[in-house]
Amino acid sequence: MFTGLIEDLGKVKTRSGGSLTVQTKLFEKALPGDSIAVDGSCLTVSDIGKRSLSFHCSAETVSRTIISGYCPGTEVNLERPLKLSDGLHGHIVTGHVDETAAVLKVKRSGEGMTVWISCSGKNFPLLVEKGSIAVSGISLTVASLAPDRFSVVLIPETLERTTTGNWKPGSQVNLEYDIIGKYVKKQTDEVIENRRLRDYLEQ
């Protein structure tokens, strides 16, 4: 379990198939078997090198995330799991990516930036204005909504400490929708479906 507050901006050292090695200062605090969120994707540390962490990514993970686009030098957002004694400063993030999306538009305003990001129709109902979403592992607040996109507003601190400063139209990001919203939608969908079935049977 994570919170979406990024601890380190790492750099991809190597990636070959499902093998990924990232240069990061977190190598001093990690052990083999630990979970680390890499751009919001929960990965398991398989090896610790000199100032680096290595991971084995399953075919499922590679196919559902932006990992396949990594190359040496790619910057990635890194976060260690939440401890029960820690405060929840972001929001509940599981590290299970729902879909990848594209940055559509970037608008600088002073020292901040507004970004519009695409989203699929099936997941759009999970978004609410002023609600939370994890974008490449970063806990962000939805600023505005349109049928196929949403916007987030980035402050200078976020731009400096995460990959958001590199985002431009066409950049690919991982999206994880709010887990509470997913549970609520599942329950309401089942209620609606059961009601439809009952109405059909009563005809």
pLDDT along the chain (203 residues), means of 10: 95 95 96 97 96 96 96 97 77 95 96 97 94 97 96 97 97 97 90 72 63
Establish if 193 belongs to a structural domain.
no
* pLDDT computed for residue 52 by the predictor: 97
Q: What tokens appear for 145 in the block?
A: 């909504």
Q: What is the pLDDT of residue 6?
A: 97
Q: Are residues 109 and 140 in the same domain?
A: yes
Same domain, residue pair 106 and 180: yes
Please indicate, yes or no, if residue 94 is contained in any of the structural domains.
no
Residue 90 in any domain: the answer is no
Domain holding 162: CATH number?
2.40.30.20
- Asked if residue 166 and residue 110 are part of one domain, the reply reads yes
pLDDT value, residue 154:
97
Domain that holds residue 45: 8-79
Number of domains comprising the chain: 2
Residue 192 forms part of a structural domain: no
Same domain flag for 117 and 146: yes
201 in any annotated domain? no
Calpha distance 121→201 (Å, rounded)? 30
Per-residue pLDDT, 2: 94
Q: Enumerate residues 6+ apart whose C-beta is below 8 A from 35.
A: 42, 43, 44, 45, 80, 81, 95
Q: Per the domain annotation, does 200 fall within a domain?
A: no
Domain for residue 89, yes or no?
A: no
Q: Looking at residue 194, what is its pLDDT?
A: 77
Read off the tokens for 10: 């790492």
The count of residues in the chain is 203
Residue 21 lies in a domain: yes
Cα 88 to Cα 82: distance, rounded to the nearest angstrom: 8
- 104 and 75 in a common domain: no
Phi–psi pair at 175, nearest 5 degrees: -120, 130
